[in-house]
Amino acid sequence: MKKFSFPLIAITEGAAHLEIPDMNQYRVPTDAPVFYNFLMEFNRDIAILAVKTYQEQQGHSLTILLPLAATGVRGIRFRLELANIERIIMNDASSTAYTLMEHNLELNQLSDSIGIQNEDAIGFLNTFAKRGQRVDVIDVDPFGSPSRFIDSAICALKMKSGLICLTATDMAPLCGVSPQACLRKYGGRPLRTEYCHELAVRLCLNSLITTAAKYEIAIEPLLCYSIDHYIRIYALLHSGALKTDAVLQQLGYIIHCFQCGYRSPISNLLAQSPECPDCGASLDYAGPLWLGKLFNSSFCEKLLMRNAKLQLGTKKRISKMVQFILEEAASPITYHNIHRLCKQYKISPIPMEKLIQNLQKQGFQASRTHFSRVSLRTNASRAHIAHLIQQSNA
């Protein structure tokens, strides 16, 4: 067995048995010689479900690349928990990570079943960007922004049916704390609103869509979510200029009034009045960003069914989140934080389910959202939501 200059601990995640750096020895996980985050088991569990769902839709064996593999946990789980995998290749630029991956493959008796490389992630991806070499699935799971890997990942995927999986953990830029950083990395302007996590997903999708468009590749979001400290995107590639143009038509902006909370999606910023139609205050905006659907309901339903059949470590949490996603899939863009709304109108909140039922009885769309436990999506105005709450409190 290999010797390491740092203490290791044995863990089990899913079907994988691993040795990882003892995170108790480090102030933060990123200080460890090889990064492993226990909280991201949820992310990896959903990755198993998403790739399995995609595989069953495609109906053939898969080739998978992991350009930022670290301990190798994701790739090892893919090999052990998914059937009909043709090839998995893991990579990490760190020689220490490479050696630890090698060690963990030996522990799981997979040394001959998974390829490993020790290269820069972009260079690694670029070696597959040619006819006959492109792969089915690429999972880009960096610490920080995935933006600099997107171009190479798109080029290394099968253009007509590839699945791209992206994680972004740089929530400060995406949520408007560092707007210039967001503009540099994602090509769009964020806003610090109560629905900033939804904006974060839509800004990241804008970067993915515009990058793919250069190659006449259209992006179809299948499952996009924000949870804990990160966002996650699963999207399908489709080849063709007409399909790409149709996707680009769904990019735009969201205008927002910080005075009264009014918000609206728009396609043309120049044609928009600078004044809020509700209160007359100056409007601000986020974008360009994706204005289309974040979820493919059929894909999410199949993922949920597969979750029910498996014994994943975060099974209950996945089920709860995906059920919320299915509720909100057809609901209007952005959501209202009811606690903030009640504070704005100086009223007491009522139970969320009661508010949703009252809105639906009046013919409005209304649903919870996975983005926030205290928020709802609806096509009712903010003032009307407040009026309904006041009526219920009377």
User: Which part of the chain is CATH 3.30.56.70?
Assistant: 297-393
Q: Angle at Cα 338 formed by Cα 277 and Cα 202, nearest 5°?
A: 70
The CATH code of the domain at 297-393 is: 3.30.56.70
pLDDT in tens, 378-390: 999 999 999 999 9
User: Which part of the chain is CATH 3.40.50.150?
Assistant: 36-290
pLDDT in tens, 49-101: 999 999 999 999 999 999 999 999 999 999 999 999 999 999 999 999 999 99
Q: Quickly state the pLDDT bin for 5 (edges 50, 70, 90).
A: confident
Average pLDDT of the chain, as a whole number: 97
What percent of the chain stands above pLDDT 90?
Answer: 96
The per-residue b/e assignment along 282-321, b for 16 or more CB within 10 angstroms, e otherwise, is: ebbbbbbbbbbebbbeebbebbbebbeeeebebeeebeeb
What distance separates the 2 farthest-apart alpha carbons in the chain? 71
Residue 1 has pLDDT above 70, yes or no: no
What percent of the chain stands above pLDDT 70?
Answer: 100
**In angstroms, what is the C-alpha Rg of the chain?**
22
**Which fold, 36-290?**
Rossmann fold (3.40.50)
| Phi, psi dihedrals of residue 2, rounded to the nearest 5° | -75, 150
Residues 234, 224: Cα–Cα separation, whole Å: 6
Residues 3, 283: Cα–Cα separation, whole Å: 60
- What Å distances lie between residue 168 and 32, 174, 200, 238, 298, CA to CA? 20, 9, 9, 23, 25
Cis-peptide, bond into residue 288, ω within 30° of zero? yes
pLDDT in tens, 235-278: 999 999 999 999 999 999 999 999 999 999 999 999 999 999 99
- What Å distances lie between residue 37 and 40, 72, 73, 266, CA to CA? 6, 12, 10, 39
Residue 2 has pLDDT above 80, yes or no: no
pLDDT in tens, 327-342: 999 999 999 999 999 9
Residue 290 has pLDDT above 80, yes or no: yes
pLDDT in tens, 81-91: 999 999 999 99
